[in-house]
Chain A
Amino acid sequence: QKEVEQDPGPLSVPEGAIVSLNCTYSNSAFQYFMWYRQYSRKGPELLMYTYSSGNKEDGRFTAQVDKSSKYISLFIRDSQPSDSATYLCAMSAPRGSTLGRLYFGRGTQLTVWP
């Protein structure tokens, strides 16, 4: 079983839609949760960073972490064509843990059409 599971999509939505992207994980030691956005032929860039459980909002983006269910989500409100990219979830455990590195999901490819 992979440490982090993410549906690769592809996901195609009309402009203005609410997008929900999700990842599940198996190890309760993960405490740091991130979402990266990757445009085609580019390197990923950090979009959202959350520590432990709860919600974090940044403009049209909201990251949610439910540690009891081992489930994280990224919501995009009022989606725009410029949001078309691959979204990768990532997570890590504190230093000293046996999981001493960042674990990535496979990425979900999102297309927002006008």
Chain B
Amino acid sequence: DGGITQSPKYLFRKEGQNVTLSCEQNLNHDAMYWYRQDPGQGLRLIYYSQIVNDFQKGDIAEGYSVSREKKESFPLTVTSAQKNPTAFYLCASSKDGTNTGELFFGEGSRLTVL
């Protein structure tokens, strides 16, 4: 079955630690995205990538980093510079980066900072 796989589903981190969230897709999609979801705030775009080896900052990129070395993979690192990292993180992909097509989402990763 084609889809997006995010791991881990739940993650706990101590303050000051970096953590990397994995996102893998087997849909052969060009574009991939990372969103953050907080209660009552909807989805906020962190980073997106329209093609391999290229990515752009979204609305809330500070304290996050990404890479896109392979078409299938778009990992997100939450660094210690992110002041309030506890949130639900969603990875998505689309066939291309025109934003006129459907976004396919993963199941999400819930990060809690202790």
Contacts and interface: CB of A to CB of B under 8 A. Distances in A.
Given A44-B90, A106-B42, A92 B107 contact: no
A93 B42 contact: no
Chain B interface size, as a band, is 20 to 34
B32 to A, nearest CB: 13
B53 interface: no
Nearest to A32: B100
B99 A100 contact: yes
B45 A95 contact: no
Contact of B106 (A8, A43, A95, A100): A43
A104 interface: yes
A47 to B, nearest CB: 10
Contacts of A107: 42-43
Interface residues of A, number: 25
A101 B45 contact: yes
A98 B17 CA distance: 36
A12 B86 CA distance: 28
A95 B98 contact: yes
Nearest to B3: A43
Contact of A101 (B48, B102, B105): B48
Contacts of B90: 43-44
A60 interface: no
Q: Which 4 A-B pairs have the closest CB atoms?
A: A43-B105, A106-B42, A92-B99, A95-B98
Interface of B: 4, 40-43, 45, 48, 58, 90, 92, 97-100, 102-103, 105-108, 110
